[in-house]
Structures are given as C-alpha cells and as structure tokens.
Chains A and B, each alone.
Chain A
Amino acid sequence: MNFQIAVLLGQDGVTNGAIYALLALSILLVFTVTRILLIPQGEFVTFGALTMAAIQAGKPTALGWLLLALVLIDCALDLRQMWKTGKQAGAMNYGEIKWSAIKIGYTAILLVLLHSLTLADIPMLAQALLTLALVVPFGPILYRLFFQPIASAHSLVLLIVSIALHVAMVGIGLLLFGPEGARTAPFSDSGFHLGPVMLKSQTLWVILVSIALIVMLFIAFERTLYGKALRATAVNRMGARLMGISPVFAGKATFTMATFIGALSGILIAPITTLYFDSGFIISLKGFVGAIIGGLASYPVAAIGAVAVGMVEAFSMFWASNYKEVIVFTLIIPFLLWRSLTSRHVEEEE
C-alpha cells in the first residue's frame, strides 16, 4: 500500500460515504418524526438511478403510469374522506377537490412530457429534473396510502409495513426496469490531477452535492418555521400536535425529503456504478449502519458514522475482498454494545 493507493481508496470511501451519509440522514429524519424505519429508502435510490437510465436510453418509463395509478387511488381516498367529514359537519369543504385536480394535472403533464419529448436528446439537467419530478411524488403518496392510516400504530407494525413496502417495491422495480443492471452517462468526462492521482469529476459532484444538501437540511431545520415544526415533532410528537402541527403534514414532508434525497443519490451514483433493481437495500443498509452509529438520534454523528462506513468498506475491499460485507456490518456490534451500556433505557411513548 502506497500513498497513491491510499488516496484512490480514500476517494472511493468518501464518495460512497457521502451517499451513505445522505441516506443515514434521511432514515434518521423519517424515524425521528414518524417512528418509521424507512427500509424502502434504498428503492428510492434505485428508482432514481434506473429512471434516469431509462430516460437517457430514450424510453418513457412505465413509472409514470404507476404514479398516475397511485395518485388516482390517493385522490379517491381523499375525496371519500372529504365526503364523510363534510356529511358529518353538515357543510362540505371543497379544498380537497382543488388539491386532487392539481395532483392529477401534475401527473398528466409529466406523462405528456415523458411521451412527447425525445428523452435521449434533452440536456442532462432536464433529464435529472424530470427523474426527480417523477420519483419524488412517490414519497408522500406512499406515506398517504400505507402509513397515514396506521400512523399511531406500534412502531413494530410500522416496521413490518415498511418491510412489506420494500419487498413490493423491489418486485415493482423488476417489473418496470427489468433484471439488467443500468448505468448512466457521467455529468462530465473531465478529471482533475491531484499529484499522481486522478480525481474523477463525478466524485467531486457527489461530494459537493452531498455537502450542499446537508447544509440545506441544516438551514431548513434551524431557520425555517416548517423545519422547526418538524423538529418539534421529532422531539415530542404529542406536544407538537397540541401546538397545532399536523402529523399528516409532518409525515408527508419527511417522506418527500427522504425520497428526494434518495432519488438524487441514485442520480449521483448511477454514472459510477452499475445499479440493479435490487441494489437499493444493501446501499440503504449501510446508511442504516451510519444511522445506528448515531444512535438513531444524532444527525452529525450519523453523518460521520456513514462516512466512516464508506471508508471501512473501501479499505476492507482492498485488503480482504471476501470479507468486505462482513467487516462493514460487524461495525454495528461494538456501537450497539456501547450504546446499550451508556444510554439509559427510555420507555417507548405509545
């Protein structure tokens, strides 16, 4: 092992670590606000990457139709709810109709765009935006359909539903994108020389966007009212509710953010790796290890832990490629031990 190899491995570790950090943060965010361990987080990554790949191949992905189907179910549920509460109150509140119209209209516009544009030829930024516009709405809709009705259930129930959703999404991923791995074109082909080592520009993109996202998350949570509302929900759900913060809003907002981060991570790493319909789980699991290192509570520790996971992974891949996954996932044991010894047990709020 010489300096050059250490730098190359380090570069690799930081790139992967940055993605794991983003996933760790979104897993943590969703968990603290809604008590849901977001197992399908990895699927958002693969959906983002594979949609981008499909768009670059010029294929209007069937994901749009899936979105339309889910939006229609969502709107039907909302309108039924409106009808019921309206009947009880004796006066209809027609706000939901407007919202439903907006949602269906948005999906319709997306579908028209997907089928009318020559997808392979539009600029890459537009392709990325289209991918995000397509994947991100799945977050709030999945929350609405699968978690909102059981929001107050035991966290074990939430976990089981989360696992079920993960399994279903892997299957849907296979159906939509096929069994082949996919890879997208890099944002730019250029590289930078740092001494004897070549740094790929895609690596810099990953690191810069990750840092930018983390800073944005920080600002959003420290400076904006909505961010503070989410933080309040994370600290004390019941208290936040009494203060008039809607748990439905909090759930949908965190899911939107988690999906956005997941899909963006997918778009970022798709040019440097081959992703399959079922790649997401193992990626999000490593983010999860980071989140565990942060005790599922501390954002900075989780981010640092996730970067550490990336580094350990890179170097163990060099020294003992056979045991790479074993080493990475064994990391979780000392931290769990340490956590269980140092923190006192808090009864779960029901």
Chain B
Amino acid sequence: MLSKTTLSALILSTTFLSSLAHADIKIGVVTSSTGPIALVGIPQKNTVALLPETVAGEKITYIPLDDSSDPTATVKAFKKLIDEDHVDAIIGPSGSPNAMGVIQFAAESGTPMLAPVGTAAVVLPMTEQKKWVFKTTQNDDLIAAALVDQMKQSGVKTLGLMGTADPYGENWAKVMKGLTEKAGIKIVASETFQRQDTSLTGQSLKMLMASPDAVLIAAPGSSSVMPETTLKDQGYAGTVYQTHGAALDAFLKLGGKQVEGTILAASLMLVLDEVPDSASKTIASQYVSDYKQRYGENPATFGGNVYDAGLLLANAIPTALKGGQPGTAEFRAALRDALEQTHELAGTQGVYNITPADHSGFDERGRELITVKGGKWALLK
C-alpha cells in the first residue's frame, strides 16, 4: 500500500517536474472529424500533422480533439483544453454554430482562438469578447462581392437563391441581399433545403417558375450538387453560381456533366497551376504537396484554413515570447496582441493583414473566379 502511494507520488511529481522543465507551447485543435460536418473537419484534423513543430526554438505541442459536430461537445472540448491542458491558443472549431457558442469561454479565460469557420459573425461586429477570436477564412461578403461583380458584368438582372437552412445558407442570403440591391440585381426567388433532403423537385420547380437569369446555390460540401443537377434536369438554361462551399473535388465527381459551366469564387488552391506566381501560391503548393504525400489525396480548402491558423501562430509566437512564458496568461495576452499585428502574411487562402477592427484580414488576393470546364476547375477568363 505504502509503496503504491509513494510510487504514484513519484510519478506525479516527475510529470510535474518534466512539464515545468519543458514549458512547451501548447495549442489545442478542435475539429468536427465525425458527425454531419465531418466533411469539413476531416481535412482539418489531417492538417494538424502538417503544422509547424518548432517556432523560435520552442517546441509546439498540438492537442487535437473531436467535437463530433455537436456544439455542446465543442464547449466541453474548449473547457477541457483551457482548464486542464492550459493551452496557449486554440485552433477551431470547424462549424459556425459551434464557434459562436465558445467565444465567451475563450474570452473569459483570455485564450486566443483561431476559428476556421465560414460565418463572419464570429468576428463581426467586433466586441470585447470577439477580440480574442481570429478567423482564417475569407468573409462571405468578400467572396460574394466577386460573384456579384461577375453577375453584373455578364448582364444578370434577376437572381434566384437556393441555400441550406443552416447558418451557412442564411448568412449568404443575408449578404447577397445587401450586395445585389447595390448592384441593381433583383432576387426573384429564395428557397431553402436541408443537406440530407432526398429530393429538391419542389424548390427547383418554384425556381423555374420565377425564371431568374441566374441561380446562386449556397450550400456547404456535396449538398451543393443536388440543387444544380435538379435544376438542369428540369431544363433550367441560365447560369448557376456556387459559393466556396462547393470548392471540392467531390463536387465535380458528383455533378459530372451537369455542373459544367458553373461559376464560383474560391481560394486559389483549386486552380494553383493557372494563377500567376505569388507568395500565397508558393505556400499553397507546398501545403497541397505535403498533404498529398501524407494522405494520398488533395486537401479540401477547409484544411488550408487550419494550416493558415498554424502559420498565423508561428508568425506571432516570436513576438509573444517577449511578453511572457508559455503557459501563462501574459503569454496568451501577448500572443493575442501579436496576432492582431499580423502584417502582409501570406497563407494558403490569401494574404492576412489583421487589424483591431478586422480579425479576418483578407483582401481580394487569393480569391479567384473559377469555372468548371471539361470536368475540371479552371480560372474564369
């Protein structure tokens, strides 16, 4: 009995000592690698292995957790990372609703959170709590602006919207309403659907009755395919626009001939071979080839968002180390401040210029207009 206690005390003290000796930088990664949005979470989880291992001589330990796409589980994962592992920053979660629910916990504990999620609501409007959140994807309105410009140029007067009945589709509907009004395009029909719907005949018939010049489909992942194929089946002849949610190889595979000519705006990762050389292109090519070597397939752009989070941290850590030791509140605060100073940092999705007002920090660089030509992604010319 006695020996058992001594032994456990010994083990405890050694672990304590060792953890004190190497005060590694600890970064939690929360992804949805199972559950309904696993499509987004799996490439993100896979990307953790490609993140920088040492920065400025400090070893970085990543602690990946899965929240099974459940916002409650995300909160648990965040609390565990913050209270038990005392992480210095958290990358994640994968889903927009999941991210909205954990902002307060990140802010209360003063832990910087790098969210690779779609919705701009995590950083806008900027509040005291959202100061701790940084977003590594382009805001929807940045992508939407490119699409609306293209529509205007090609003479689209009326537009139909088909979006998923979730924050992704809703946010797009909101963004498009504002932008199309300014551009003089009228939204004549707006329909919603669920990702798992087995039939979209009703929605697309209604769309056809309104006969808009173009239709925009706002849906994440493979669910963006069926609205378009149903429309084409029923003889819709106008242009179909997609959001960056469709920027996946599975979109081409599932859609086949029926998605030919689709126009979307997305990150340059899809058309690396065609874009002119830039710092982002170099980094994106590096990421794609590393990912391919490790997993044997091309990464979805969602993975790039986590990769960028790693780059942002790696860029900020050297400055933050001057502010305090890893594992302390001072270090986390310094890390947050350093992240906010990010200037002209090239990532896979574009170039980051983060300011206190804009915690996403993208501009037009890295955003490309893409079309489907001959069953492949091609730069729209």
Contact = CB atoms under 8 A, between A and B. Distances in A.
Contacts, number: 95
B254 A8 contact: no
A283 B196 CA distance: 9
Nearest to A185: B256
A11 B199 CA distance: 11
Given A274-B225, A279-B196, A180 B39 contact: yes
Interface string B181-210: 000000000011111111111110110010
Contacts of B198: 16, 269, 272-273, 275, 279, 283
Contacts of B200: 317
B165 interface: yes
Contacts of B201: 8-9, 11-12, 314, 317-318
Interface in B236-270: 248, 250, 254
Nearest to A314: B202
A274 B254 contact: yes
Contacts of A316: 202
A275 B42 CA distance: 18
Contacts of B165: 322
B221 interface: yes
A317 B202 contact: yes
A182 B38 contact: no
Interface in A132-190: 171, 174, 178-183
B221 A181 contact: yes
B250 A180 contact: yes
Interface string B296-333: 00000000000000000000000000000000000000
A325 B193 CA distance: 10
Contact of B222 (A9, A171, A181, A283): A181
B34 interface: yes
Interface string A309-336: 0000111111101101100000000000
B221 A8 contact: no
Contacts of A73: none
A288 interface: no
Contacts of A174: 34-35, 38
B223 interface: yes
Nearest to A276: B196
B351 interface: no
B194 A318 contact: no
A320 to B, nearest CB: 9
Contact of B199 (A183, A273, A276, A278): A273
A272 B199 contact: yes
Contacts of A314: 199, 201-202
A283 B38 CA distance: 20
A77 interface: no
Contacts of A272: 198-199
A16 B205 contact: no
Contacts of A179: 38-39, 41-42, 221
A12 B202 contact: yes
Contact of B34 (A8, A11, A12, A171): A171
A178 B300 CA distance: 13
A318 B222 contact: no
Nearest to B199: A12
A97 interface: no
A219 interface: no
B221 A9 contact: no
A318 B191 CA distance: 9
A181 B227 CA distance: 14
A337 B36 CA distance: 33
Contacts of B196: 276, 278-279, 282
Given A180-B250, A181-B223, A274-B225, A318 B202 contact: yes
Contacts of A269: 198
Contacts of B203: 317-318, 321
Going nearest first, the 3 A-B pairs with the smallest beta carbon separation are A317-B202, A318-B202, A181-B222
8 contacts: A12-B199, A12-B202, A178-B42, A181-B223, A269-B198, A274-B223, A274-B226, A279-B196
Given A179-B39, A279-B196, A282-B196, 18 more contacts: A9-B205, A11-B201, A171-B34, A179-B42, A180-B39, A180-B222, A181-B221, A269-B198, A274-B223, A275-B198, A276-B195, A278-B35, A313-B199, A314-B201, A314-B202, A318-B203, A321-B202, A325-B194
